[in-house]
Amino acid sequence: MAHPKRKTSKTRRDKGRTHHKLGSKPMVADPVTGDVGIYHRVNLETGMYKGVKVMKGKNEE
């Protein structure tokens, strides 16, 4: 099995982790109601996706 020749310093080790962060999710406005929600997700309040009714919303019985 391969072994490192030198100990990796804490600084060099942590440099590889600089890009492991959470980014903000893209938001989009619903064309019908104007509500802002997460991209590629159904609006649970209205049941709309990209301006098309795909399921019952919370407001409906």
Given the structure tokens 């600089």, which residue do they identify? 18
pTM of the model: 0.50
Q: What is the pLDDT of residue 24?
A: 84
Q: What is the pLDDT of residue 6?
A: 94
In a domain, 11, yes or no: no
What is the domain range of residue 40? Answer: 23-50
In a domain, 34, yes or no: yes
In a domain, 32, yes or no: yes
Q: What is the pLDDT of residue 61?
A: 64
In a domain, 5, yes or no: no
Torsion over CA: 14, 15, 21, 24 (sign):
positive
Domain count, the chain: 1
CA-nearest of 31, 27, 28, 35 to 51 is: 31
Q: What is the pLDDT of residue 7?
A: 94
Going residue by residue through the chain, which has 61 residues, state the pLDDT in tens, using 9 for 90 and above.
889 899 999 999 888 888 878 888 888 887 777 888 888 888 888 888 888 888 888 877 6
